[in-house]
Amino acid sequence: MSGADSTTATVYDIAPTILSRYASTTLFIFDILISITDEVEYVWKAKWTVPKVLYFISRYFGLAAAIFSCALNPVARSPESCSRYSIFNTTWLLLGSAIGDALLLLRVLALFADQQKTRLAVKIAYGVTYAIETAFLIYYLVHPSYAQPGSTAYAGNLGCVVTALTNNATKPTISDIILAIASVPIITFNALLVILVFKNILPAYRRNVAVGVYTPLYVALLRDGAMYFVLIAASGIFIIISPIVWYNRPDRNNAGVPWFMVLTPVAASRLYLNLRASAGKSREVTEFEEIEEEINFSIPRTETTLTDSRP
């Protein structure tokens, strides 16, 4: 632990929030490196569509935001700079989550192309979820955590992370509580989407397996849909817990935020990429594209049996 004098607090360079920035960004870069071959083949070479645009925004603007946060870490920043960074950080936290959920939402809408009531209900749920999140964002920007009673107002910070081991708070601030509950609507909405995916796909998948039929897109949807929810739920629960448990530890009460900001685009882009790769590699579909006005994605009817590859 190394220290440096600051205005009212000591700066420690092993603050858990700072370590979370480094670790989550490393994971993001690693995921891009191990999937770049499929990305070039199945995304870069594909025609431009709304999902493709969302994919690139989520993946590469998300990576840029993570790297930018890490670049802030080495030195203390002024309160004015940290206020601007707080606006950027919380805004991207919302936008990144909305884009990631939109990619999964498109998959679900396509699965229920012939069920207009279900499609409408899912769209409404998405709108309500992010209307709530926008309200939380506005409150958090107007009443940031550093302006709450008992905060250290960015005194003793590295990269706008207040590193003081205590702020002498006796209970969570309103902003701590807002940050904690902000993840609940997102987790709930994602649970709804995953349930709909499993309800639609799992019975057909089981029937196919029972008769020796293997459909890679079924596997990709079930596997990656479940993994998307697990990652979002885990990072969301971390955000819920950390400001409530560590309300008096400014060095760690935001430790879950970097993970949420990274895991959301990683999971969303992986879902999109793996679906495209499965479609391309299995040669089960001749086209796997969505147009801006209407979603035409559907589960392919052509299937490959398990016995096809046997001699």
Helix (H, G, I), strand (E, B) or coil at 288: coil
Nearest to 228 by CA among 276, 179, 181, 192: 192
Residue 154: the pLDDT is 56
The two beta strands, 304-305 and 157-158, are unpaired
Residue partners of 105: CB distance under 8 A and separation at least 6: 122, 123, 126, 193
Give me the count of residues in the chain: 311
Residue 128: the pLDDT is 96
Residue 299: the pLDDT is 44
CB 143 within 8 A of CB 267: no
Distance CA 141, CA 236 (A): 20
Whose structure tokens read 């999937």?
35
CB 144 within 8 A of CB 160: no
Q: Between the CA of residue 213 and those of 136, 217, 304, what are the distances in Å?
A: 47, 12, 6
Instruction: Calculate ∠ Cα 59-61-63, nearest 5°.
Output: 65
Tens of each residue's pLDDT in the chain, 311 residues = 443 333 344 555 567 888 889 999 999 999 999 999 989 988 998 889 999 999 999 999 999 999 998 888 777 777 778 778 888 888 898 999 999 999 889 888 888 888 899 999 999 999 999 999 999 888 877 776 555 444 445 556 677 777 666 667 778 877 778 878 888 999 999 999 888 888 888 888 888 888 877 777 777 778 888 888 888 899 889 888 888 888 777 777 788 889 999 999 999 888 888 888 776 665 544 444 443 334 444 444 444 434 444 44
What are the tokens at 11? 């700066």
CATH of 16-286+293-305, one of 1.10.760, 1.10.3210, 1.10.150, 1.20.1070: 1.20.1070
Give the H or E element holding residue 51: helix 50-56
Give the H or E element holding residue 214: strand 213-214
Distance CA 252, CA 246 (A): 7
